Amino acid sequence: MIASPDLDKASLGAVLKTALDAVVVMRLDGTIAGWNDVAERSFGWSFAEAQGRRMSEIIIPHRHRASHERGLAHYLATGEGPVLDRHIEIEALHRAGHEVPIELSITRTEQFGEPVFLGFLRDISERREAERRQELLIGELNHRVRNMLGVISSIAHQSSREAADLPSFTRNFTGRIAALGRAHDILTATVWEPAPLASLVESLAGPYRNEDRISVAGDAAALKPRELLAMSMILHELLINALKYGALSTPTGRIAIEWASENGRLGFGWTESGLADIAEPERSGFGSKLIDLGVRHDLGGTIERRWNPDGVAYRLEFPSGVERP
């Protein structure tokens, strides 16, 4: 680790051996005089390969080499070194050609017999990566918060349009926000990765399944955040319509929910039965309009309704697993 007859090999060797960071010893002429095992692991050069070579040829990136040589010459001429005795963050060059972010501190010492520069280099790759991930997460969080505020604003506007009075608005608005909250809880549990549609269906329709009012059958389809949030609104409106006018408004009513994904598309079915004297309404209600808007705008899909003698059936189809802007 040391190759210089003028250096106190025993003292410097102890420093190099016990240091937890990479340590590089540079003579005043810019050549390498010491290099510990951590430096070898960090930069890919053994000391036998690095000794006697100029520091600027080994671990200093090409774009910094000229300024390094100028700085060394300036120090030797004036005794001034702006990077001495302080911590800086910079990049070092690995033997394989890639750069390694480091925290660098340099000090000049004569305690080992010959005037040398001691450089302590700490690999901060993990810290940089953690900072990068944090920046990405903050940016993603800001994006999601803005989107969520937009969704809530839209829900408030839509709820106000259909409400006959303040209690009606409060009831409709809080119900929709609650459905959105359940979807948000599911996404939080999956760290906003694709989440199972089955979890959302169970969360919203679960209470009625305990009464054997709703049957559920579906595959392991997982929806991306935007898809799951849209489906939470659609399912909420379907449930509200069923409670007010459909299968859940009568003891004999039943609902069958089923879905399957194939070739990048998801088909979702909602079938109500157990009703009597069913006829297609002359105009769509507000809930139906919200369902149509969610399917076509938020999911980029299609919806079909079929009015049967004993109930209504919905068929939704949309591309799943594809991130839409």
Distances in Å between the Cα of 308 and the Cα atoms of 254, 259, 312 are 13, 20, 6
pTM comes to 0.57
Residue 223 CA to residue 323 CA, distance in Å, equals 10
CA neighbor of 268 nearest in space, from 300, 231, 294: 231
Segment 89-105, tens digit of pLDDT? 999 999 999 999 999 99
Of 97, 123, 149, which one is at a domain's C-terminal end?
123
Q: Are residues 285 and 175 in the same domain?
A: yes
Range of the domain at 188: 128-319
Q: Looking at the predicted structure, is the pLDDT value of residue 72 above 60?
A: yes
Residue 265 CA to residue 193 CA, distance in Å, equals 18
Q: What is the mean pLDDT of the segment spanning 303-316?
A: 94
Segment 161-215, tens digit of pLDDT? 767 788 878 877 788 788 778 887 888 787 778 999 999 999 988 877 766 789 9
In the numeric block, which tokens belong to residue 99? 């750069």
Q: Are residues 54 and 107 in the same domain?
A: yes
Q: Are residues 303 and 220 in the same domain?
A: yes
| For the chain, percent of residues with pLDDT exceeding 70 | 87
Total structural domains in the chain?
2
Q: Let me know: does 72 contact 45? Beta carbons within 8 Å.
A: no
Segment 281-305, tens digit of pLDDT? 777 777 788 889 889 988 999 999 9
In a domain, 2, yes or no: no
In a domain, 274, yes or no: yes
Of 64, 93, 123, which one is at a domain's C-terminal end?
123
| pLDDT score of 324 | 41
- Residue 289 CA neighbour count, 13 Å, CB half: 9
Residue 238's domain is classified under what CATH number?
3.30.565.10
